[in-house]
Amino acid sequence: MRTSLIIFIVTSLLLFIGYHIYLFMMPSVKIVNQSGQILTRVEVNLPSNRLVFDNIAPTETMRIHYKTDQADGEYAYQIRLSSGAYLNGQCGSVTHDQYMKVLELIVDSENKVNCIE
């Protein structure tokens, strides 16, 4: 009985660690809202994918991981603010099998988007 419990705990711990290593390795897009208003919808288009974020409150951050199986290209974004205004643009580059990359889009208090790769 004791051996089964130890095996269960070790297996659970290894699965937990493996999951977090997987998330650390996978590329992601992170949205940081410093605008003072709700970002009602954020779409980030990758060459082979589209990521959608809904209702990001002021001072809130959200992140989505995506597959590494991408064609080469750029990130394109469209952000809808709660005021009804849209922010559109492109930034950063996407390449096939790109691991551990984080694209950070920061919407500042002047409703400008800063892009950090």
Note the pLDDT tens digit of each residue in 75-112.
999 999 999 999 999 998 998 888 889 999 999 999 99
**Span 36-51, pLDDT tens digits:** 999 999 999 999 889 9
CB neighbours of residue 69 within 10 Å = 9
Q: How far apart are the first and last CA of the chain?
A: 50
Is 27-116 CATH 2.60.40.2890? yes
Kindly state the helix (H) or strand (E) to which residue 60 belongs, with its residue range. none
50, 29 in Cβ contact below 8 A? no
CA dihedral 31, 35, 36, 38 (to 10 degrees): -50
